[in-house]
Amino acid sequence: MSQSAIWLKTRPFAAAAQSEPKISEYPETEGRLDHRRRVVITGIGVVAPNGIGKDAFWRALVTGQSGVDWITSFDASKYPSQVAAQIRNFKPTDYMPARIVRSVGRFTHLAVAASVLAVRDAYLPENLGTVHRTAALCLGTSVGGSADIGERNFRRFFSKDISRLDPLGMLELSGHAATSHVSQLLKLTGPTTTLASGCTTGLDVVDWGCLQIADGRSDMAVVGASEVPVSEFIFALFAAGGFLSTWSGPPSASSRPYDRLRSGLVLAEAAGALILEEFEHAQHRHAPI
Give residue 35's pLDDT.
65
List pLDDT tens digits, range 96-142. Answer: 999 999 899 999 999 999 999 999 999 999 999 999 999 999 999 99
Percent of the chain whose predicted confidence (pLDDT) is above 90: 75
Residue 4 lies in a domain: no
For 231-250, what is the mean pLDDT? 94
- The reply to whether 203 falls in a domain is yes
Is a pLDDT exceeding 50 seen at residue 73? yes
In a domain, 11, yes or no: no
- Nearest Cα to Cα of residue 71 among 38, 49, 93, 52: 49
In a domain, 269, yes or no: yes
Q: Is the pLDDT of residue 16 over 70?
A: no
Number of domains in the chain: 1
Per-residue pLDDT tens digits for 17-36: 444 444 334 344 444 444 68
Q: To the nearest whole percent, how much of the chain has pLDDT over 70?
A: 88
Tell whether 33 is covered by a domain. no
| Mean confidence (pLDDT) of the chain | 88
The answer, yes or no, to whether residue 12 has pLDDT greater than 80, is no
85 in Cβ contact with 265 (< 8 Å): no
Task: Tell me, yes or no, whether 19 lies in a domain.
Answer: no
Residue 35 lies in a domain: no
pLDDT in tens, 170-184: 788 889 999 999 999
Would you tell me how many other CB atoms lie within 10 Å of the CB of residue 30? Answer: 12
Domain range holding 232? Answer: 40-284
Q: Is residue 273, in this structure, part of any structural domain at all?
A: yes
pLDDT grade for 266, boundaries at 50, 70 and 90: very high
CATH code of the domain covering residue 61: 3.40.47.10
Band of pLDDT at residue 157, cut at 50, 70 and 90: confident
